[in-house]
Amino acid sequence: MHYESNPILDKLPEHLRQYINPQDYEEYSPIDQAVWRYVMRKNVDYLSTVAHESYVQGLEMTGISIDHIPNMYGMNRILKEIGWAAVAVDGFIPPAAFMEFQAYNVLVIASDIRQLEHIEYTPAPDIIHEGAGHAPIIANPEYAEYLRRFGEIGCKAISSAKDFELYEAVRYLSIIKEAPGTPLEDIAKAEQHIEELQQNMGEPSEMALIRNLHWWTVEYGLIGSLEHPKIYGAGLLSSIGESAWCMTDQVKKISYSIEAAHTSFDITKPQPQLFVTPDFAYLSEVLEEFANTMALRKGGLSGVKKLIGSRELGTIELSTGIQISGMFDSVIEHEGKPVYIQTQGETALSYREKELVGHSTQHHPGGFGTPVGKLKGINLAIEDMSPRDLKAYKIYEGERIVLEFEGGIRVSGKIVTGTRNLRGEIILITLDDCKVTHGKEIIFEPSSGLYNMAVGEKVVSAFNGPADLSSFDLITHKITSTTIKVEKSPERSKLEQLYGQIRDFREGTNTTISRNKVFKEVRENYPDDWLLSIELYELAKKNQDEAFALEIAAHLESVKQRNPKLGHLIDDGLSLVDGVTAVS
């Protein structure tokens, strides 16, 4: 195991553990630490006035330091006190897996940190976004329960075949955009590819819709009134640019409702509108309203078709509670209802999320098919028949029988046995010498062996993933692109060394360093680096060395003249220092 576990992480299933990466804390450079510190100092200063009150309280409760990038082990020791844990991953992971982690009360934290060049915003998930954005708010119990419940429902959402292609495209763009030196034409090409995919997605899948809800709440949510909203979304809490932008009149504020599920977003651009929830409890109301529209709760023919269209492992549950898990291949329908469903490849049968003995993927390696519905001309469904009824209709061990279902499905054969659920209802009937037909089409022949017929009048649920996680080998995660680790140039290594010296001086581990010499080297060899000069300015002001502070400020003014886009970052850094020193 390449991470330190705890009682919460111990409950994670194996297929989620495959996404966990070691944090490797020593890989963070002094520049990375300075980026974290700048963003956090700026955020806490600004967000203390515009973020939901849980944010600042949560920073302390979850062990998030302003001065140091959080160590996952330290975070976990504190998070477990509120019933949560955190794991490190490599960038974006598939949406269903991300949400399933939440269902287990585990925060997924991308352990990389944005480059200094992207200090205000990055499309790639990073530790600033995850650690400083998501973690503090979960200290609020109502919000934490919303997040857990969202994960529980979200991981059951059915995707379309195009969703994964879009996920991979977004992941790839986030990687190359954050990597230093990526040619602009490569970024433009990747952005165009995403745009083309988004324009040709067809009818949005359940996963696409619930991801919209996630985006407009967990990532970019506002709370309170339309006139005076506060920030709670992690994307806003972790972006020093967008957290200020979102508070202006240029960003439209809309009352949060289920309509947010049908409002798409562009991860590469600032958001033109944001949704405002009156309180955290209302988030759960809308989530339940959305869940009522999902195949998870509606089932039926549409649910079966969604699973077929997803081309992914999914589960159908019949009204008796029997669950069929596999890749759904086809459905025969009659009068708007499914009358026969068929999987291809490995299939497993379960009841209440527990695999039925003798019905694993080894027993059904080539698919599984079963009729659904009532028998023709009989008002009483098989599942509702008493033992006396079953015997009367010859649904009895050793009897040779012909079962004519509504919709034209015909099952003939000799009954071997029946499997019952805890309520005593028949959920599975096994037949020998069995033939299944639909009109003139033969679906199952006697030569194929025993026929297991699931019993159920209706499809009551259809959802992503298997009923019993142990039924399938789910450790199949293959990422086509990984975050880019750029080899450092000698110049970059030297700059990192200078950042490290100033950090050591500030923290008192080495106070013999000459700050004037460091400043001289920065000015001569790294004339456009601004963040280290801000840190030197902070030390000069703290030590009341006004002459040195003025010299640094003059240099930063020249950096601004050469790089106008850095102007507000430099001004904000200076103002932050001046504000602190003025107060102290």
Residues 329 and 459 in one domain: yes
Looking at residue 258, its pLDDT comes to 97
pTM, full prediction = 0.85
- CATH code, 163: 1.10.800.10
Residues 171 and 283 in one domain: yes
What is the average per-residue pLDDT within 330-343? 97
Alpha helix ranges (H) inside 66-205: 72-79, 95-103, 127, 135-137, 141-154, 161-178, 184-199
Q: How confident is the model at residue 171 (pLDDT cuts 50, 70, 90)?
A: confident
Residues 464 and 495 in one domain: no
Residue range(s) defining the domain that contains residue 405: 313-471
pLDDT above 80: residue 199:
no
Looking at residue 368, its pLDDT comes to 98
Q: Is residue 477 part of a domain?
A: no
Tokens of 281: 């409890």
Looking at residue 280, its pLDDT comes to 97
Looking at residue 117, its pLDDT comes to 84
16 residue type, one letter:
L
Looking at residue 481, its pLDDT comes to 47
In tens, the pLDDT along 374-398 reads: 999 998 999 999 889 999 999 999 9
Last residue of a domain, one of 288, 304, 329: 288
Tokens 């590819």, residue? 193
The helices-and-strands tally (H runs, E runs) of the chain is 22, 17
Residues 333 and 461 in one domain: yes
Residues 36 and 82 in one domain: yes
Residues 172 and 42 in one domain: yes
Beta-strand runs (E) in 288-334: 313-318, 322-334
> What's the DSSP call for residue 129?
I
Q: Is residue 308 part of a domain?
A: no
In tens, the pLDDT along 517-564 reads: 999 999 999 999 999 999 999 999 999 999 999 999 999 999 999 999
Cβ proximity of 118 and 181 under 8 Å? no
**Long-range residue pairs from 215-220, CB within 8 A, at least 24 positions apart, any chain:** 215/265, 216/256, 216/260, 216/263, 216/265, 216/274, 216/275, 217/146, 217/150, 217/256, 217/260, 217/275, 217/277, 217/283, 218/134, 218/147, 218/150, 220/246, 220/265, 220/271, 220/274, 220/275
Residues 550 and 457 in one domain: no
Q: Is residue 476 part of a domain?
A: no
Residues 213 and 177 in one domain: yes
- Distance (Å, rounded) from C-alpha 338 to C-alpha 373? 8
Looking at residue 423, its pLDDT comes to 81
- Distance (Å, rounded) from C-alpha 278 to C-alpha 380? 48
**Long-range residue pairs from 305-310, CB within 8 A, at least 24 positions apart, any chain:** 305/331, 306/158, 306/205, 306/206, 306/462, 307/158, 307/462, 309/160, 309/161, 310/158, 310/159, 310/160, 310/161, 310/205, 310/464
pLDDT above 60: residue 566:
yes
What is the average per-residue pLDDT within 248-261? 96
Looking at residue 1, its pLDDT comes to 46
* SS3 at position 411: strand
Residues 323 and 267 in one domain: no
Count of structural domains, the chain: 3
Q: Is residue 319 part of a domain?
A: yes
**Percent of the chain scoring above 70 in pLDDT:** 94
> What is the bridge-based pairing of β-strands 222-224 and 229-231?
antiparallel
For residue 351, CA distances in Å to 28, 460, 462 come to 48, 14, 14
pLDDT: which is higher, 49 or 150: 150
Beta-strand runs (E) in 222-336: 222-224, 229-231, 252-255, 273-277, 313-318, 322-334
Residues 66 and 181 in one domain: yes
What is the average per-residue pLDDT within 282-297? 98
> What is the bridge-based pairing of β-strands 354-355 and 337-351?
antiparallel
Beta-strand runs (E) in 273-420: 273-277, 313-318, 322-334, 337-351, 354-355, 369-371, 400-404, 409-420
21 residue type, one letter:
N
- Provide the CA 245 distance to its chain's centre, in angstroms: 25
Dmax of the chain from CA atoms? 102
What is the average per-residue pLDDT within 197-208? 80
Residues 122 and 245 in one domain: yes
Residues 465 and 494 in one domain: no
143 residue type, one letter:
Y
Look at the alpha carbons of 308, 310, 315, 318 in this order and tell me if their dihedral is positive or negative: negative
Last residue of a domain, one of 471, 503, 529: 471
Q: Is residue 303 part of a domain?
A: no
For residue 57, CA distances in Å to 41, 53, 62, 213 come to 15, 7, 9, 25
- Cα end-to-end distance, the chain, whole Å: 47
261 residue type, one letter:
A
Q: Is residue 305 part of a domain?
A: no
84 residue type, one letter:
W
Last residue of a domain, one of 438, 471, 504: 471
SS (H, E, C) 419-439: EECCCCCEEEEEEEEEEEEEC
Q: Is residue 294 part of a domain?
A: no
Q: Is residue 298 part of a domain?
A: no
User: Closest Cα to residue 451, out of 351, 316, 352, 340?
Assistant: 340
99 residue type, one letter:
M
Cβ proximity of 233 and 273 under 8 Å? no
**Percent of the chain scoring above 90 in pLDDT:** 62
